[in-house]
Amino acid sequence: MTVSLEENAKIQMLSAASKDKKSTTERSLIEKYHLGPLALHTGLVVSCVTYAVGGAYLFLSIERPEEMKRRAKAIFKFQELKDQFLGNLSALQPETDRILETYTKKLMYMLEDAHNAHAFEHFIIPNGVPKDMWSFSSALVFTTTTVIPVGYGYIFPVSAYGRICLVAYALLGIPLTLVTMADTGKFAAQLVTRWFGENMAIPAAIFVCLLFAYPLVVGWILCSTSSITFLDSVYFSLTSIFTIGFGDLTPDMNVIHMVVFLAVGVILVTITLDIVAAEMIDRVHYMGRHVGKAKQLAGKMFQLAQSLNMKQGLVSGVGQLHALARFGMLVGKDDVEKTVPEDGVIAFSPDVMDGLDFVDNLSIYSRRSRHSAGNSARNLFLS
């Protein structure tokens, strides 16, 4: 019984050690190949794609029944207007111009509605090809251009429930998509930084060239595969990747190709702005640091010049004091001869203020001994 317990304990210890070794190996692999950040980036991208696809199904389920109702109503109105026009035209021959003008105004007014215009184009005119406004592909374009956000305005919800859902969908989807785009751009910029090192001038120039070349290449592809001109294609590409999206052009483009084109273009703009902005900020900081150092150096040089001037002045003053001290030591009290000018005017030196020194120091040295004069000069120098 005791042996079996020991064996069980050994088996448990071995299994725990193997589990610890396995977890350590897994952690080392994750750290070695940077699988953690990669999983985070991949999760953001998958979440964004899932959000767009799920939103497409949501709005398709909401707006498709509303489209069917509005289409039936539009077809009935167009048929009714046509019957009225033909009936009035056969009954009133002299007023043909007025009847035609009235019919044209009513028709133009009805075509201002997007659903009426779509029904007239695809279900009323003889050569029209039946086509639904809300399909999965068009709904996917709608959700993609909502969360990026470009907002072409090709289709839009018309029901109250659809518009309420759109507000909530955009409030959550736009931040998610912007974070995903920024994260992907940052991840790509970090890879480029590791490849080129600290010198960011070369990758900045490369991505600027790619940013200018991308709309040109896409414009050439759209010009070759659709009915718009090369200038219109480039214009459409630029307004799309910079999230302007006027919606005034509608090229014949596959929905998957359009989504990939928008995603790649916006990420390219994000990477380019990130790298160029980082390079410019680094340059500004570099200039700022050197300007600050130059300012500090100029201040130190100015302080040094001031100290040199003060030292030179002090040396000159000390020299004069030493000269006066030597003069006082050489000239004694008894050797001083007071010469009175002919007019009888001499320099005034009041006896009651012996503690003050005047410019005319003759009275000082005449009243003091040679030894006291030398000590006075030294005390003045030391003080």
Give the residue extent of every domain in the chain.
Answer: 7-172, 198-312
| Amino acid in position 140 | L
Q: pLDDT at position 376, please?
A: 45
- Segments of the chain scoring below 50 in pLDDT: 1-3, 26, 29, 332-338, 340, 347-383
For 48-52, which contacts have Cβ atoms below 8 Å and span 24 or more sequence positions? Answer: 48/147, 48/176, 48/177, 48/180, 51/143, 51/147, 51/172, 51/173, 51/176, 51/177, 52/140, 52/143, 52/144, 52/147, 52/173, 52/259
Using CA atoms of 45, 46, 48, 52 in order, give the dihedral in degrees to the nearest 10.
140
Query: What is the DSSP-derived secondary structure letter of residue 130?
Result: P
Instruction: Provide the whole-model pTM.
Output: 0.62
| φ/ψ of residue 95, rounded to 5 | -105, 40
Which residues lie closer than 8 Å to 8 by C-beta, 6 or more apart?
none
CA distance 323 to 365: 13
CA distance 221 to 260: 14
Of 152, 179, 163, 159, which Cα lies nearest the Cα of 51? 179
Would you say 365 and 331 are in contact if contact means Cβ atoms under 8 Å apart?
yes
Angle between helices 255-330 and 201-225 (to 10 degrees): 160
CA distance 134 to 20: 55
CA distance 203 to 275: 8
Rg (CA), the chain: 47
Angle between helices 136-147 and 160-196 (to 10 degrees): 60
CATH code linked to domain 198-312? 1.10.287.70
**CA separation (Å) from 354 to 24, 144, 324, 351, 363?**
94, 99, 18, 6, 10
Which residues lie closer than 8 Å to 381 by C-beta, 6 or more apart?
318, 321, 322, 325
**CA separation (Å) from 4 to 1, 9, 10?**
5, 9, 10
| Amino acid in position 242 | F
CA distance 155 to 134: 8
